[in-house]
Amino acid sequence: MATCSGGGVRRRRWSILALDAAQPFDKEGQALDVFERRGRLKIAIIGFGKFGQFLAKTFGRQGHTLLAHSRSDYSAAAASLGAAFFSDPHDLCEQHPDVVLLSTSILSTAPVLRALPIQRLRRNTLFADVLSVKEFPKSLFLKHLPPHFDVLCTHPMFGPESGKDGWEGLPLVFEKVRIGDTGERAERCQRFLDIFHHEGCRMVEMSCAEHDANAAESQFLTHTVGRLLAKLDLKTTPVNTKGYEALLKLVEITCSDSFELYNGLFMYNKNSTELLERLDLAFDSLKKELFGKLHDVVRKQLFESSP
**Domain residue ranges in the chain:** 39-206, 213-297
The pLDDT assigned to 14 comes to 53
List CB contacts of 176: < 8 A, sequence separation 6 or more: 152, 189, 205
Dihedral over Cα of 122, 106, 265, 75: its sign: positive
Query: What are residue 43's phi and psi, to 5 degrees?
Result: -110, 125
Q: Determine whether 202 is exposed, middle or buried from the number of CB atoms within 10 Å of its CB (0-12, 13-18, 19+).
A: middle
pLDDT in tens, 77-114: 999 999 999 999 999 999 999 999 999 999 999 999 99
| pLDDT single digits (tens) 190-230 | 999 999 999 999 999 999 999 999 988 878 888 899 999 99
| Least trusted range by pLDDT, from 33-37, 243-247, 283-287 | 33-37
pLDDT digits (tens, 9 = 90+) for 140-193: 999 999 999 999 999 999 999 889 999 999 999 999 999 998 899 999 999 999
Averaged pLDDT, 19-33: 49
Domain 39-206 in CATH 1.10.290.10: no
Does residue 34 register a pLDDT over 70? no
Distance CA 197, CA 179 (A): 19
Element (H, E) at 171: strand 171-178
Q: What 8-state DSSP symbol labels residue 43?
A: E
